[in-house]
């Protein structure tokens, strides 16, 4: 493997570049025509027409600078203990937070998190994360892109006044290096331990400096037991992770978490590994969670999803692979004690299918993913009532023939909800469990 | 996937309604980057009718792609007529980032393409319905346009084996 000139690249200063002038002309053009187009666009298959406001229509009605969940980059959502919905998204170099008291039908005016503009990453695998603790503290993490050479910092902020204002963002990676720290995940345990995990290139850079080979990157994490007031020093979970796939995090007991990530096995097999991370900074040895045999020296940009199963130490997993053993989206249930998977099931093998999200509620397992049939993107849903042993036939929740985000499933104390953004439908927040 | 900045929707409109090369800031490097839309691949194939050609897909965010760009830049330098189609799967809004990288591998002078429609699934499908989106990805077309695909870094030896022209 060659060195990609990473160290020199990340020292190169990169300035923010102004928008091309012609963009403003296009915006003006669209704002004139969008009103006419808007009436044709929101052909919703879902039953809640109140959400059928896409960004284009919204900005035509309320101005081109409108900040809204419907215009936000890569939104993610969570419930607070009152079952209000909180959404974080990126708009114009700021992370914003907005909340809803009517399950996503209407949203509060967005509040800016970072006062100083910064390049918060937002795409399918990289998005701001949000959790609201039981005491109302709003917790956020995201990745700040610091160059175009895959460098970044893991950022954290919180609000202790119910989301009215946010603390100045802090950088969570503690190496002080202008290298890659990206693909953050955020998780709060039942007992209030706050975990941040991410993909880190400090070990890669150190190896390159010694002219040694280092496949991939590494997984790191930190924990806070005071809701983000302080964090323990960064802890390495594993060397040689894949560089560009989101990390799935799930509860392991009340205090700890299990994480699932794409790991490089051998020289270039990019399957998945699972490990348990302790709130005290202890890390279990990782085990191989999927055996797909995907030999690829490339960037899949396709991370897994994982939720706890009803038996202790068992996890429902769904992931994507193009390996020789498994290709397409798969489901399996992994048992930490025996280090074995059962009920490995191919969910969708078509090449356009990807980005699964899992949730459990009231004994039912929900799996949503994105398809593509050559023309449009259907969001597909499958259910299992027996812990993943058998599944319903897929049903299409909604379809778009425009750009769309990855679908996410969000669980509250009363149900499972779809969180999904698309150019056509705007931001859709929709209950799945009572249909 | 919602692509960077969300202006990509506007940018696709820019490609439809505006000039093919949006004006960029003064510091912009010269480039020959064209917008890649849903019909572009058909047009590229027509351009190479009866001739073999190679397609290389990359992105600004893809570290292994740099290895391939390095090799392609050197091959193109050795043979300026080499039938090479380089397509970035980044939104064309990131053209300056892409141009910097192409320049580093001596490919900035070549005509290359960047995705110019935020509905990237459709663009990927237009190139190859069987492609999962992984990068780097390469296609080798013979004169009859029979196609072979390869994912991951290519060595020059492998490249020559797949494209003996």
pLDDT per position as a tens digit, A136-154:
999 999 999 998 678 999 9
- Nearest CB neighbour to B118, from listed A30, A372, A423: A423
Residue A256 forms part of a structural domain:
yes
| Domain that residue A383 falls in | 6-431
A46: burial class by Cβ within 10 Å (0-12, 13-18, 19+)? middle
Look at residue A307 in the predicted model and tell me its pLDDT: 98
Instruction: Give domain status of residue A1, yes or no.
Output: no
Do the domain assignments include residue A202?
yes
How many domains are there within chain A?
1
Q: Which residue of A has its CA nearest to B70?
A: A4
What the block records as the tokens of A388 is 């993943």
Find tokens 């149900």 and name the residue: A415
Among candidates B14, B59, B137 on the partner chain, residue whose Cβ is nearest the Cβ of A22: B14
- Does B4 contact A122 at a Cβ distance shorter than 8 Å? yes
Evaluate whether ipTM surpasses 0.95: no
The reported pLDDT for the residue numbered B30 is 62
Q: Alpha helix (H) ranges present in A175-260?
A: 202-209
pLDDT score, position A35: 38
pLDDT tens column, A201-236: 999 999 999 999 999 999 999 999 999 999 999 999
Report how far residue A287's alpha carbon sits from residue A265's, in angstroms, rounded to the nearest whole number.
11
What per-residue confidence (pLDDT) applies to A89?
A: 98
Residue A55 has pLDDT above 50, yes or no: yes
> Is the per-residue pLDDT at A289 higher than 90?
yes
The pLDDT, as a whole number, for residue B134 is 85
Domain annotation covers residue A40: yes
| A27: CB partners within 8 A, 6+ apart | A64, B10
Provide the token pair at A428: 């859709």
Nearest CA in chain B to A90: B5
pLDDT higher than threshold 70 for residue A238? yes
A103: left (phi over 0), alpha (psi -120 to 50) or beta: left
Q: Name all domains of chain B by residue range, CATH numbers in brackets.
A: 32-162 (3.40.30.10)
Lowest mean pLDDT among A298-307, A385-394, B45-54: A298-307
pLDDT digits (tens, 9 = 90+) for B135-164: 899 999 999 999 999 988 888 899 999 999
pLDDT at A396: 97
> What letter does residue B32 receive in the DSSP assignment?
-
Task: Please give the pLDDT value at position B22.
Answer: 39
Residue A36 is predicted with a pLDDT of 38
Looking at residue A96, which CATH number applies to its domain?
2.120.10.10
Tell me: pLDDT of A342 over 70. Answer: yes
Q: What is the pLDDT of residues A102-143, one digit of tens each?
A: 999 999 999 999 999 999 999 999 999 999 999 999 999 999
Q: Under 8 Å CB-to-CB from B128, ≥6 apart: which residues?
A: B137, B139, B147, B149
Chain A residue numbers touching B125 (CB-CB < 8 A): 352, 372, 374
- Residue A53's pLDDT band (cuts 50, 70, 90): confident
Contact B97 A148 (CB under 8 A): yes
Q: Which residue in chain A has the smallest CA separation from B137?
A: A298
Q: Chain A: nearest CA to B164, how far in angstroms?
A: 23
Q: Is the pLDDT of residue A33 over 70?
A: no
Which single residue is written with the structure tokens 């964090």? A231
Task: Give pLDDT < 70 ranges for chain B.
Answer: 1-30
Q: Which residues of B touch A20 (CB under 8 A)?
A: 22-25
- Alpha carbon A401 to chain centroid, angstroms: 22
Confidence of residue A358 (pLDDT cuts 50, 70, 90): very high
């Amino acid at each position: 493997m060659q060195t990609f000139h990473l160290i020199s690249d990340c020292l190169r200063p990169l300035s923010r570049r102004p928008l091309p002038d012609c963009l403003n002309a296009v915006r003006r053009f669209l704002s004139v025509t969008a009103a006419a187009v808007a009436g044709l666009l929101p052909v919703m298959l879902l039953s809640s027409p109140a959400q059928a406001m896409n960004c284009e229509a919204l900005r035509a009605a309320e101005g081109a600078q409108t900040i809204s969940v419907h215009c936000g980059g890569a939104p993610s959502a969570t419930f607070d203990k009152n079952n209000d919905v909180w959404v974080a998204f990126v708009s114009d170099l700021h992370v914003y937070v907005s909340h809803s008291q009517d399950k996503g039908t209407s949203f509060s005016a967005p509040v800016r998190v970072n006062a100083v503009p910064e390049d918060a990453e937002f795409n399918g695998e990289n998005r701001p994360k949000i959790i609201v603790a039981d005491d109302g503290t709003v917790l956020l993490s995201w990745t700040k892109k610091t160059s175009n050479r895959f460098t970044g910092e893991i950022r954290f902020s919180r609000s202790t006044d119910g989301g009215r204002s946010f603390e100045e963002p802090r950088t969570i990676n503690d190496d002080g290096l202008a290298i890659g720290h990206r693909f953050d995940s955020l998780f709060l345990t039942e007992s209030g331990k706050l975990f941040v995990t991410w993909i880190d290139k400090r070990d890669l850079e150190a190896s390159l400096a010694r002219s040694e080979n280092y496949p991939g990157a590494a997984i790191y994490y930190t924990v806070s037991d005071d809701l983000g007031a302080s964090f323990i020093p960064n802890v390495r979970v594993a060397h040689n992770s894949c560089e560009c796939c989101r990390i799935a995090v799930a509860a392991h007991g009340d205090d700890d978490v299990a994480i699932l990530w794409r790991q490089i096995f051998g020289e270039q097999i990019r399957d998945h590994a699972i490990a348990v991370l302790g709130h005290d900074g202890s890390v279990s040895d990782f085990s191989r969670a999927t055996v797909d045999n995907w030999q690829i020296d490339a960037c899949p940009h396709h991370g897994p999803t994982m939720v706890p199963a009803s038996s202790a130490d068992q996890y429902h997993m769904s992931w994507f692979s193009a390996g020789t053993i498994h290709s397409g989206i798969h489901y399996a249930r992994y048992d930490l004690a025996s280090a074995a998977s059962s009920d490995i099931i191919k969910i969708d093998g078509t090449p356009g299918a990807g980005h699964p999200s899992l949730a459990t509620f009231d004994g039912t397992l929900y799996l949503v993913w994105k398809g593509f049939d050559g023309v449009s993107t259907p969001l597909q849903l499958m259910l299992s009532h027996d812990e993943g042993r058998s599944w319903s036939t897929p049903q299409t929740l909604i379809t778009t023939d425009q750009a769309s985000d990855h679908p996410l499933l969000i669980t509250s104390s009363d149900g499972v909800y779809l969180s999904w953004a698309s150019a056509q439908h705007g931001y859709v927040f929709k209950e799945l469990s009572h249909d | 996937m919602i692509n960077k900045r969300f202006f990509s929707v506007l940018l696709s409109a820019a490609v439809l309604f505006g000039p093919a090369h949006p004006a960029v800031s003064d510091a912009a490097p010269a480039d020959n980057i064209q917008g890649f839309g849903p019909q572009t691949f058909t047009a590229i194939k027509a351009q190479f009718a009866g001739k073999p050609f190679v397609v290389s897909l990359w992105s600004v965010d893809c570290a292994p792609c740099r290895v391939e760009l390095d090799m392609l830049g050197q091959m193109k330098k050795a043979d300026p007529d080499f039938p090479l189609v380089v397509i970035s799967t980044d939104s064309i809004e990131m053209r300056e980032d892409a141009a910097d990288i192409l320049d580093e591998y001596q490919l900035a002078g070549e005509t290359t393409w960047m995705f110019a429609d935020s509905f990237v699934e459709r663009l990927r499908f237009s190139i190859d319905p069987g492609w999962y989106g992984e990068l780097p990805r390469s296609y080798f077309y013979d004169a009859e346009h029979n196609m072979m695909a390869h994912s991951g870094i290519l060595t020059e030896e492998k490249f020559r084996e797949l494209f003996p022209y």
